[in-house]
Amino acid sequence: MAETTTKPRRQPPDPNSAKYKLGKIADDAYASAAAAKARGEMIGWCASNFPVEIPETLGLAVVYPENQAAGIAARGGGVTMCEEAESEGYSNDICAYARISLAYAKLKEAPVEPNVPMPDFVLCCNNICNCMIKWYENLSKELNIPMFIIDIPFNPDYEVSEAQIAYVRAQFWDVIHGLEKLTGKKWSDEKYKEVMEISGRTSRAWLAATACAKYTPSPFNGFDLLNHMAVMVTARGKKEAAEAMEILLKEYEQNHVEGKSTFRAEEKYRIMFEGIACWPWLRVTSTGLKGRGINMVTTIYADAFGFVYKDFDDMCRAYCNVPNAINLEHARDKRVKLCKDNSVEGLLVHTNRSCKLWSGFMPEMSRQIGEACDIPVVSFDGDQADARNFSEAQYDTRVQGLTEIMDTRKEAK
């Protein structure tokens, strides 16, 4: 008779924990959009780096197709949806988030959660890539709904020019007035001030929490950041998000004091992970590190979504300074700082087939980071949402290589 094994039952998360609260905020975003739709309100689909201050101040419910695509991919539905888009003529070279989203726009349902209500308008911002424009143009056309765009051009210079601030500021007001006209909602300076303050509070807590990686061992597993950043992207203007991030910070500080960590293994090596997560292979990529005692203590997300600004122009500047909108030198320096602040010993780069912009100058930038920080750099091929573009064997070999170099360096010290 075969032996039977009982899987240990997972403890339900503590409702007072940051993890529970942050998960709930992310889930509530979908629920509140569905509720708004049911009430007959207009709802939007919104690009992840679109200024959340606008829909938040106007009181518009929005959902985020990138988050939805990541969720669908993480639950195993990415390839089915990608193939659906490909059957419509979309090349399999196109960003997998876009393919999943365009398939969803056609089918209006996915084989796995999250399902989202259909939009009445789309809000596009291209400060992460111009692919967003093409994707949202097609959504707008296929669904026959208006598109609002804030074009934030890639900045070839280190500092944001006054001309760019003026261009972005004018577009903010253009979109705000357009949304007022379409939805009947009204902009309130008072409400905006409140949102700005909350967003600053959330951001400060997030930056402080992620900076806890300065402790050795780190009080958290860096993969936590990949989950929590969804709240930073979509809900940092909400009071609940600020409160949850402050709890997260408290928990990390407490972990440090008690010598605990959400990284459930001995932290032998500390690395920075570069790129979007391989959502369909999250467990594989995570355990491939954990099994070797490698903690991914930081990513550019730690810095990217901390929007702290003092006024409207400064907010425009903050949106011009997100990671994929800045030049190589600026992008490199942000990463070098994270590596140095957090005692990083190696850089693992995800060459993400879905993201031409993120990967397009990564070889040169990662060489420069490696030199500046005197750390080894290893890359692997993957994709944020198309499971077909990842090889577990290649990943394992590359991570093993990185481990051996870090090991040799440790011994030499």
Would you tell me which residues interact with another protein (CB under 8 A)? 88-91, 93-95, 98, 126, 129-131, 133-135, 137-138, 140-141, 147, 149-151, 153-156, 161, 163-164, 166-167, 170-171, 174, 327-328, 351, 353, 356-357, 359-365
Nearest residue (CB) to another protein, 134 versus 260: 134
Q: How far apart are CA 328 and CA 321, in angstroms?
A: 12
Q: Which residues contact 370 (CB under 8 A, 6 or more apart)?
A: 347, 376, 377
Q: Which residues contact 123 (CB under 8 A, 6 or more apart)?
A: 44, 45, 46, 47, 50, 54, 55, 62, 148, 175
Nearest residue (CB) to another protein, 11 versus 91: 91
Nearest residue (CB) to another protein, 131 versus 405: 131
For the bound state, the minimum distance from the C-beta of residue 175 to another protein, rounded and expressed in Å, comes to: 10
Contact 392, 284 (CB under 8 A): yes
Q: Which pair of structure tokens corresponds to residue 349?
A: 């780069």
For the bound state, the minimum distance from the C-beta of residue 90 to another protein, rounded and expressed in Å, comes to: 6
For the bound state, the minimum distance from the C-beta of residue 360 to another protein, rounded and expressed in Å, comes to: 3
Q: Which of 275, 327, 267, 277 is nearest to 297 (CA)?
A: 267
Nearest residue (CB) to another protein, 179 versus 294: 179
DSSP 309: -
Nearest residue (CB) to another protein, 80 versus 155: 155
Q: Which of 138, 66, 63, 124 is nearest to 95 (CA)?
A: 66
Q: How far apart are CA 229 and CA 166, in angstroms?
A: 29
Q: In what order do the strands lie in the sheet with 147-150?
A: 62-63, 44-46, 121-125, 147-150
Nearest residue (CB) to another protein, 228 versus 353: 353
Collapsing DSSP states into helix, strand and coil, what is residue 200?
helix
For the bound state, the minimum distance from the C-beta of residue 212 to another protein, rounded and expressed in Å, comes to: 32
For the bound state, the minimum distance from the C-beta of residue 356 to another protein, rounded and expressed in Å, comes to: 5
